[in-house]
């Protein structure tokens, strides 16, 4: 439907979104390690979320067990099926994750990310409790970030590629509402693809709830207060005609 490219939305409370960057790095490193590991199929079953295993419908062979089954509610989110699966999720995280991390703070953002991933897996498991197909990918967590960004910054302008080829600069609420609505629609009508729409919807619902609870108290919702840079005058003793007065800029 659309590919996000950039948002004109600078950080206000943190200097660097190092949790977002760390999650991206972890996903990329794990993907390439699995790509060169001939035993990666075992990793998919050992770290992926398999509803039938979690709901005791089936049992994983002992040699495939890598972590307690409860851990797979989050470990699955660090595995990806192919490069395009990885690239799509990490692009969404790169564009929208920094501002959600800014609104929550580093530690709460990390918890938020894991909670949205777990909610996505849980909702997938509720709707398909007997599935023996491993669920992998960060889509549940990314869906939560999209929902949080929509609630925080619907009026911020973002650059997107509509239909994968038409560059547009539009308010964030337009593509994000369309994206959220599409996930809901696909969950309702279903299809034969290997995409778990339930995981996306579970992440969306979790992100929409948690952003209201976990955000910094001073962070407004729905862009009620958009701060633009304003120069604050300072005084220098007899500045030279060619010198520039120092200013302090409010963060956008």
Confidence of residue 38 (pLDDT cuts 50, 70, 90): low
Instruction: Go through the domains of the chain in sequence order and give each one's CATH number.
Output: 2-227 (1.20.1540.10)
Angle at 238 between CA 235 and CA 239, to 5 degrees: 80
User: Please, which pLDDT band fits residue 230 given cuts at 50, 70 and 90?
Assistant: very low
Q: 186-216: per-residue pLDDT in tens?
A: 999 987 788 999 999 999 999 999 999 999 9
Residue 221 to residue 215: CA distance in whole angstroms:
9
**In the prediction, which pLDDT does 87 show?**
96
pLDDT at 188: 92
Mean pLDDT of 219-230: 72
Position 232 pLDDT exceeds 50 = no
Q: What is the DSSP letter of 71?
A: G
Mean pLDDT, the chain, whole residue set: 89
Which residues, 6 or more positions from 160, have their beta carbon under 8 angstroms from its beta carbon?
2, 3, 4, 5, 167, 168, 170, 175
């Amino acid at each position: 439907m659309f590919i996000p490219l950039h948002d004109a939305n600078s950080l206000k409370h943190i200097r660097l979104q190092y949790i977002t960057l760390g999650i991206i790095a972890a996903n990329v490193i794990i993907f390439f390690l699995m790509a060169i590991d001939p035993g990666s199929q075992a990793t998919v079953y050992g770290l992926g979320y398999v509803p039938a295993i979690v709901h005791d419908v089936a049992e994983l062979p002992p040699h495939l067990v890598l972590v307690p089954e409860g851990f797979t509610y989050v470990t699955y989110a660090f595995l990806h099926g192919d490069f395009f699966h990885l690239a799509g999720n990490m692009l969404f995280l790169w564009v929208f994750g920094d501002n959600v991390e800014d609104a929550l703070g580093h530690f709460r953002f990390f918890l938020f990310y894991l909670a949205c991933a777990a909610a996505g897996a849980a909702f997938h498991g509720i709707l398909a409790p007997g599935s023996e197909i491993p669920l992998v990918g960060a889509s549940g967590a990314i869906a939560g970030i999209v929902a949080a960004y929509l609630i925080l910054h619907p009026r911020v302008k973002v650059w997107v590629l509509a239909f994968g080829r038409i560059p547009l600069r539009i308010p964030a609420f337009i593509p994000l509402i369309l994206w959220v609505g599409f996930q809901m629609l696909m969950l309702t009508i279903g299809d034969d693809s290997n995409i778990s729409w339930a995981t996306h919807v579970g992440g969306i619902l979790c992100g929409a709830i948690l952003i209201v609870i976990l955000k910094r108290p001073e962070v407004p919702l729905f862009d009620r207060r958009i701060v633009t840079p304003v120069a604050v005058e300072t005084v220098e003793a007899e500045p030279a005609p060619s010198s520039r007065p120092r200013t302090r800029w409010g963060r956008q």
